[in-house]
Chains A and B, each alone.
Chain A
Amino acid sequence: MTPLILVDGLRKRFATRVALDGVALTVGAGEIVGLLGPNGAGKSTTLSILATLLPFDDGSVTIAEQPLPAAAARARRALGFVPQRPAFYPTLSARENLRFFARMLGLPSREAAHGVTEVLQLAGLEGRADEPVDRFSGGMQRRLNLACGILHRPRVLLLDEPAVGVDPQSRERLFETVLGLAANGTAVLYSTNQMEEAERLCARVVLLDLGRVVASGTPPALVAQAGVSATVHVRTAHALPKGWLATQGARVLESSDGTTAVAISHSGVVPAVLADVLRAGGDILDFTLHRPTLADAFFSLTGRALRDEGESAAAAG
């Protein structure tokens, strides 16, 4: 089956700065793919190109089997876009906004009315549908923002950090809505900085950094691909002496002030590590086992350096 989002060798340059450098990804029908990366990695640029908002310099992009930019107009018929910042008319009511966008999305009047009612229920905004949306809370505005993008039941849905700054209840409603759409066959590309969201929603993730895909796959595969180990954190009454660890498959990551982090190859070596601590005369006050997460893989693959300058440049470009 042909993916509904097909990106290959995508390149984009803003003046002298390379924003995207050979990005490739696919999203199939009913699939939710997370687009991860630090600020300035190229997530928003990628989404803007896929949303037909930005031209690209090289590569190929196909949305719902429509190549961009030639068939952008046809691609838009299948496209739902939920920008990072809520995008609607603040002095209009939620219903008025939805009705307007439904018409702009090409829905006939009756279907538009039906769609408005449906997404109002989906977003949990029926009770406030006729209030000006500038009175809405952040979470309500986020839900409305999503509702505006799915009025026409798009085959392809692009979400740019839709859950930033929302309350847990709103986040849950958003997730349920996205999962529901995917279940109905919508290909979802979900851009986020929140690893938990990706792990919760995405079957696959694509990790971008500095305009390149540094890793992609399922979250566990990405963790494995990153080579991130589980760690045991041990707190002792006294500092441990040098050379105290003798267990195979374990190595000391750091040690200071009675707290020691030990990387382990698998959880089966944890008793041996604790035994080594006791043998070294360490009084164990506390210990925790930390399994590797997508965030660990993220840091492992992208580093911990701040990317704000790059993000600023991208925004300016």
Chain B
Amino acid sequence: MLRGFGAALAKDLRLLVRDRVGLVFLTIAPMVVITVAGLSLASLYGVKSAGDTVSLLPIVDNDGGWVGRAIAEHLAHEPDLETRAVSSTDDARDLVRRKQAAVALVIPAGTSAAIADGGRGHLVLYTDPVRWIERGRLYAVVQDLRHGLEAAAHDEATVALAGTRTRTDEARAALARSAQELDDGLARLRSQLADLQAESERRVAGGRHELAAQLARVAAERRAEASARLATVLAPLRGFLADLARSEQAFGTWLDTVRERAGRFADRIPPPPAPPAIPPELTELAHMEPQALVERLLPADDSAARLPSLPHVDPLPLPAFPRPELPSLPELPALRLPGLIDLEETSVTGAPHRLNPFDQNVPGFSITFLLLGVLLGVSLGFLDERDWGTLARLRTTPTPLAAVVLAKLAARFAIGLAQMLVLFAVGRAAFGVSLGRTPWALLLPTTGIVFAGTAFGLVVAGLTQSREAVLPLGSIVILTMAAMGGCWWPLDLEPRWMQRAALVFPTTWAMDAYNDLMIRRQPAPAVLAATGVLAGFGVLYLALGLVLFRHRVRQVP
């Protein structure tokens, strides 16, 4: 039993060592995939690989303010980022649309002023929804930048506020000192004023007494003078009034005489003019005693109204009022709380921001299994024909070899096309993948990649002469094409050099076309170029495959 087991074990190990296919599958194929995956996914783990990804970030500064300058300064030190000043928003969007950049940053006019005024500023990002990893990285950079700007503004405001608070505290202390000095000065002033008031009252009282005495004396003198002058002045008046009374009496007598002499004509004599009536006040004045008249004109209680002016009192010299040194209050800085910065993201193609991962995976893995089907199918199919002897038999028939080959390719092409359509239909039904604006346009890259893959199967068939050679070569080629071509992960995950190298694979062009249609939601004309390239790959592979295959079959009957 043990001997048999040992012999069987040795036999199987010997078979394995001699099995080139098995050895390739065990070593080379995984190494190729490991290498491709490792190089592709290095950036996912933050590792920089040779020729690492340097992202282009077009910046449109329509603001021209400090925000733009701060952004330029900040991004200048950002690793793996190349900023490019672009003159217009349209130019920036065009760079994203032409896939030269994943994101473009636009600083709208008035952003700096809005933020400085405490309003809300906003930065606009034009993004490519397909390159969501690079977009995410740049979005994070801009977010970081945005937070940096806000933090810088916040710090600046904090420093300004702290300075203001310090100066205010100093001013408040100075003001307190000045207030104290003012209180002290006022107290002194109050005391001085009280003294001054007492002195003034004393002086006024003295003045008033002296003034009253003077007034009484002056009044007596003036009344005496007035009585004398009145007596003098009223004497002629009294004489006149006496004369007048006598005249009136004489006139009356004369008139009576006249009337008597007129007899019967007495009634014709007009009445004589009436002499003017003597005002009673004049009569009274003329008959009043001068003393009484003086008393009447200058009553004794009226003297206060005609007081003589108060004696001049010189004011007491005011005490020197302490002039407080008022502190100059600090100027309030033109300080406002900085405004916030919003990020506004817009897809250049109008596609939604949220990516359905199946929009990437359904076409990617469909292509992978399409290649497995058509590439291995075609090459192994020809090997089957060879092994069955049917290929040799067919070559002896009048039907040209090219017709036989093309017929097989056409059959595989039809199967591949149907396979892709089924996978997309399932993807739509099960995972809701987008079919783009024009679902029929998916036929363009689908036809192209199926054609290219089928034709490449002929190349593999022409290069290999055994099943043992097809499997490792085919698997390595398929896995490499799928991995590097962006079928398993987004192409922008790969280093730039790998992205450029991947352009030699039809998978890259197919995935780009699918991304254009399904994620970027581009119209059909957007994928015409990629479809043309795929058709070119197909024609090239077909021509090369026919030459190789014809050469191959002519070597061995």
Contacts and interface: CB of A to CB of B under 8 A. Distances in A.
Interface string B388-426: 111011111111100010000000000000000000000
B392 A83 contact: yes
A88 B398 contact: no
B389 A79 contact: no
Given A48-B557, A54-B557, A55-B554, A105 B397 contact: yes
Contacts of A89: 388, 390
Interface in A34-51: 44-45, 48, 51
A258 interface: no
B454 to A, nearest CB: 20
Contacts of B557: 44-45, 48, 51, 53-54
Contacts of B400: 73
Nearest to A78: B398
Nearest to B394: A104
Contacts of A81: 392-393, 396
Contacts, number: 60
B398 A148 contact: no
B389 A85 contact: yes
Contact of A53 (B390, B396, B398): B396
Nearest to A14: B555
Interface in B348-395: 388-390, 392-395
A205 to B, nearest CB: 22
A73 B401 CA distance: 10
B82 to A, nearest CB: 57
A118 to B, nearest CB: 18
Given A54-B554, A87-B390, A101 B397 contact: yes
B392 A106 contact: no
B134 to A, nearest CB: 50
A53 B397 contact: no
A207 B557 CA distance: 22
Interface string A63-97: 00000000001001101010101111110000000
Contacts of A45: 557
B335 to A, nearest CB: 87
A191 interface: no
A260 interface: no
Contacts of A229: none
B395 A52 contact: yes
A104 B554 contact: no
Interface string B542-557: 0000000000001011
Given A44-B557, A53-B557, A54-B557, A87 B397 contact: no
Nearest to A45: B557
Which of A45, A55, A104, A148 has the most chain B CB atoms closer than 10 A to its own CB? A104
Which of B392, B400, B557 has the most chain A CB atoms closer than 10 A to its own CB? B557
B387 to A, nearest CB: 9
A1 B557 CA distance: 31
B393 A83 contact: yes
A104 B408 CA distance: 14
Given A44-B557, A88-B388, A106 B398 contact: yes
Nearest to A48: B557
Interface in A97-133: 101, 104-106
A149 to B, nearest CB: 8
A147 to B, nearest CB: 12
Contacts of A77: 398
A53 B388 contact: no
Interface in B51-76: none
A86 B395 contact: no
B388 A106 contact: no
Nearest to A55: B554
Contacts of B404: 104
Given A53-B557, A54-B554, A86 B389 contact: yes
A45 B394 CA distance: 17
A104 B388 contact: no
Contacts of B398: 73, 76-77, 104-106
A104 B397 CA distance: 6
A55 B395 CA distance: 13
Contacts of B393: 81, 83, 87-88, 101, 148-149
Contacts of A83: 389, 392-393
B74 to A, nearest CB: 69
Contact of B396 (A51, A85, A317): A51
A189 to B, nearest CB: 13
Contacts of A87: 388-390, 392-393
Given A44-B557, A53-B557, A54-B557, A76 B397 contact: yes
Contacts of B394: 104
A51 B397 CA distance: 9
A73 B389 CA distance: 20
Q: Which 4 A-B pairs have the closest CB atoms?
A: A87-B389, A48-B557, A81-B396, A53-B557
Interface of B: 388-390, 392-400, 404, 554, 556-557
24 contacts: A44-B557, A48-B557, A51-B395, A53-B395, A53-B396, A54-B557, A55-B554, A73-B400, A76-B397, A81-B392, A81-B396, A87-B388, A87-B392, A87-B393, A89-B388, A89-B390, A90-B388, A104-B397, A104-B398, A104-B399, A106-B397, A106-B398, A148-B393, A149-B393
Given A51-B392, A51-B395, A105-B399, 20 more contacts: A45-B557, A48-B557, A51-B557, A52-B395, A53-B395, A53-B396, A53-B557, A73-B398, A73-B400, A76-B397, A76-B398, A81-B393, A81-B396, A87-B389, A88-B389, A89-B388, A101-B397, A104-B397, A106-B399, A317-B556
